[in-house]
A and B are shown apart, each in its own frame.
Chain A
Amino acid sequence: MLRIVERPLIKMLNKQLFLAGEVKMIRLITLIITILGVSIGSANADPKKVGFIYIGPPGDHGWTYMHDVGRQYMESQLGDAVTSTYIENVPENADAVRAIRKLAASGHDLIFTTSFNYMDQTLEVAKEFPDVKFEHATGYMRAPNVSTYSARFYEGRTISGHIAGKMTKSNIIGYIASFPIPEVVRGINAFYLAASKVNPDIQIKIIWAFTWYDPGKEADAANTLINQGADILVQHTDTFAPCQAAEKAGILAFGQASNQEEFCPNAHLTAIEDIWGPYYAQRAQAVVDGSWAEKDTWDGMAEGMVVMSPYNAKLMPTDLIQEAVAMEVAIKDGTLHPFTGPIYDQAGELRVAEGEVADDFMMATMDWYVKGIDGELPQ
């Protein structure tokens, strides 16, 4: 290292005769400069380690895949300031404590746990490692070093609902749902409200697959719905099996979590994409700057956390695409709220008054269908 600095210097001064003492001086000076330079550089160059706990494999092209895309975005944005690692297929039970703790104990400064059922485990490890920052996806319990974050996917459902309402010919929409948790119910309700607004005759048929991830079962559910007359499929499960089934049957579908157009190019209208990257980059930067603080984030389209995939111009008429884009703008600037009153539940009770919007609490704990949806919510 010193030679690199020394040689040109010496060459430069080559013309004159050197005494041993002068060479030693030059060596000493270059040494001091090098040390100063390196120490100044390294004071800021210690990369922060960011860890991720994944529930599935990044290749699933669904939920975990989008988190991994977000992780890579964060790396690209922050460059040398961060390094990231992940552990995949972490089961949602006591084992998760060990995995999360492993990240915490191996020098990670920021850890993202990307599934609801990591909640208690995250909090436990956080108690033990107060200097490590934790971010728990879709949870609701926080601590001084645990933030929660989630995305307003239901905003995307509103847009899908509007499109579905206008594009369906059979007036039957097939919805493949996973588990009756608030997030899923919220999505169904938002979808239905938007769809029925433009098409009062519309009917949603819902099948609860009771799994996030079983391609065979999802395909069966999709085909069952198609067989019962659905001409547009919506899903809240994680594989692209329903989209494939739609393609095969020649009907339309919405992708889930990521742009799934490559799997069903002739059926894919659009998809609700989970864009975690900017949030991850933001939080990592906060750790780098030292400005990280506990908070709850529920961002949507306005903040870029929920994005609609490019509308399929081959399938959608131009004016509908324009309407969808306009809706996006309206949601982003707050003029359109997916749960604007009056909203009645199935029993006829008024849940949201006319002119008002549902608050975050109601949406976060939604365990009832809106009026107009047939069938009961499974217990």
Chain B
Amino acid sequence: MISFIPELEARGNPSTTMNFLVPVIAVTLTILTGSVIFAMMGFDPLYALHTFFISPISTSYGISELLVKATPLALIAVGLAFCFKNNLYNIGAEGQLTMGAVFGGGIGLLFYDTSGFWILPLMIIGGAVGGALWGLIPAVLKVRFNTNEILTSLMLVYIAILILDYLVVGPWKDPQGYSFPKTRKFGDSGRMPLLFSGLRVHFGIIITLIGVFASWFIFSKTMLGYQLKVSGYSPIASRYAGFNQNYLIYTAFIFSGAFAGIAGLGEVSGPIGLLYRDISPNYGFTAIIVAFLGRLHPIGIIFASLVIALTYLGAEDAQLFMQIPAAVGFVFQGLVLFYLLGTELLVNFKIVFRKNL
């Protein structure tokens, strides 16, 4: 009988096979659990799984929607990898993306009646700056005051949301908007161009791919990436090697915040084109799941973002075609993360089965 408390033996080196296998195991277990849940609720499990996982991507529009949803998740997650690899728990991505939207969107509002090819890049830079600055706050607090970055970055999320709220209801409210809490629309130059007509995939995906590539490049080819990785494995070794810890902390948060900020800007300038109260359905937090599911590796994160995006789409389809409550999407996301976290130890540990004598 397999004991619930596994006997563990540390591996010499982290197992690379397991690194790839673990997310696959997690997703498989989630699908199995999901079918059990569907069956218990009285739905035909196979049909439900089909509606949830296959039907959303069975049309070209569906695939484009998957990409639209996965794009911000992947971008933020890739940024988060900078922090997580260095054992910095940045859970404030939601706040950083909000401030990115505020800064970038603010530029868009400033030039709402001008046109020029330079406006959008400026907005993107604004988004990066906004997110990076907001990410710097927990970094500075950690370096100067040794404050725990988990809690500071979390508090900053709510502060950022309230700042956006204040701007949208107050100084930045659209004067022709009948007092509704929204800003003016950005000018056409301030909108992310669509890549294919008829599909909603927009330029943000190019930015995400650039971000993914940049992250891969930094981690595998540059000294900075090397330092971040070493610092994550062992801060003592890193210090011994003379790497400047503080510099690494700042850099990690700047990248993380910038990526999140650009994603935030993409969210408002892509599909909608103005600022309003509730811009993100918790992308910042979901991206954390994506980052972990993707094992903090750029390629893994791409796949993970597609999987998680699918759970959102699947939940909508399940609602529409089977009247399964929308909340089932969250249940799936929670499950996939549970399974992933539960099986993660297989990377660093081996389960040993001892014969009882």
Any B CB within 8 A of the CB of A227: no
Given contacts A120-B272, A182-B179, contact A87 B281 (CB under 8 A): no
Q: B179 contacts which of A89, A93, A101, A180 (Cβ < 8 Å)?
A: A180
Q: Is there an interface contact between A94 and B270, defined as CB atoms closer than 8 Å?
A: yes
A91 to B267, CA, bound (A): 14
A92 to B181, CA, bound (A): 12
Q: Is there an interface contact between B273 and A98, defined as CB atoms closer than 8 Å?
A: no
Any A CB within 8 A of the CB of B54: no
Interface string of A127-144 (1 = CB under 8 A from B): 010000000000010000
Name the residue of chain A whose CB is nearest to the CB of B315.
A89
Provide 19 A-B residue pairs closer than 8 Å at the C-beta atoms, listed in order of the A residue: A87-B326, A88-B325, A91-B278, A91-B281, A92-B276, A93-B280, A94-B271, A101-B65, A102-B320, A106-B320, A116-B180, A120-B274, A124-B271, A128-B198, A179-B181, A180-B179, A185-B179, A365-B178, A379-B169
Residues in B with CB closer than 8 Å to A121 are 271-272
Interface string of A344-367 (1 = CB under 8 A from B): 000000000000000000001101
Q: Is there an interface contact between A88 and B319, defined as CB atoms closer than 8 Å?
A: yes
Q: Is there an interface contact between B178 and A93, defined as CB atoms closer than 8 Å?
A: no
Residues in A with CB closer than 8 Å to B320 are 85, 87, 102-103, 106
A97 to B267, CA, bound (A): 12
Any A CB within 8 A of the CB of B61: yes
Any A CB within 8 A of the CB of B317: yes
Given contacts A94-B271, A94-B272, A116-B180, contact A88 B326 (CB under 8 A): yes
Given contacts A98-B316, A105-B61, A365-B179, contact A379 B278 (CB under 8 A): no
Residues in A with CB closer than 8 Å to B276 are 92-93, 117
Residues in A with CB closer than 8 Å to B267 are 93-94
Residues in B with CB closer than 8 Å to A102 are 316-317, 320
A105 to B60, CA, bound (A): 12
Question: Interface size for chain B: under 10, 10 to 19, 20 to 34, or 35 or more residues?
Answer: 35 or more
Name the residue of chain B whose CB is nearest to the CB of A120.
B272
B237 CB, nearest partner CB in chain A, Å: 44
Any A CB within 8 A of the CB of B313: yes
Residues in A with CB closer than 8 Å to B280 are 93
Q: Is there an interface contact between B272 and A364, defined as CB atoms closer than 8 Å?
A: no
Any B CB within 8 A of the CB of A95: yes
A120 to B178, CA, bound (A): 15
A182 to B177, CA, bound (A): 10
Q: A89 contacts which of B59, B68, B69, B326 (Cβ < 8 Å)?
A: B326
Residues in A with CB closer than 8 Å to B69 are 95, 98
Residues in B with CB closer than 8 Å to A94 are 267, 270-272, 279
Name the residue of chain B whose CB is nearest to the CB of A85.
B320
Residues in A with CB closer than 8 Å to B279 are 93-94
Residues in A with CB closer than 8 Å to B61 are 101, 105
Given contacts A87-B316, A89-B326, A120-B273, contact A98 B181 (CB under 8 A): no
Given contacts A106-B320, A182-B179, A367-B179, contact A92 B278 (CB under 8 A): yes
Q: Is there an interface contact between A364 and B178, defined as CB atoms closer than 8 Å?
A: yes
Any A CB within 8 A of the CB of B170: yes
Interface string of B310-340 (1 = CB under 8 A from A): 0011001101100001110000000000000
Question: In B124-158, which residues have CB < 8 Å from any A CB?
Answer: none
A95 to B180, CA, bound (A): 20
Residues in B with CB closer than 8 Å to A88 are 319, 325-326
Any B CB within 8 A of the CB of A190: no
Residues in B with CB closer than 8 Å to A35 are none
Any A CB within 8 A of the CB of B200: yes
Residues in B with CB closer than 8 Å to A99 are 316
Known pairs A87-B316, A94-B267, A379-B169; list 12 more (Cβ under 8 Å): A87-B319, A87-B320, A89-B327, A92-B277, A93-B278, A94-B271, A94-B279, A95-B69, A98-B316, A103-B320, A116-B180, A364-B178
Residues in A with CB closer than 8 Å to B169 are 180, 379
Interface string of B177-201 (1 = CB under 8 A from A): 0111110000000000000001010
B61 CB, nearest partner CB in chain A, Å: 6
Residues in B with CB closer than 8 Å to A365 are 178-179
Question: In B234-292, which residues have CB < 8 Å from any A CB?
Answer: 267, 270-274, 276-281
A55 CB, nearest partner CB in chain B, Å: 11
Any B CB within 8 A of the CB of A325: no
A99 to B319, CA, bound (A): 10
A173 to B27, CA, bound (A): 56
Residues in A with CB closer than 8 Å to B281 are 91, 93, 95
A120 to B316, CA, bound (A): 20
A64 CB, nearest partner CB in chain B, Å: 12
Any B CB within 8 A of the CB of A181: yes
Residues in B with CB closer than 8 Å to A179 are 181
Name the residue of chain B whose CB is nearest to the CB of A103.
B320
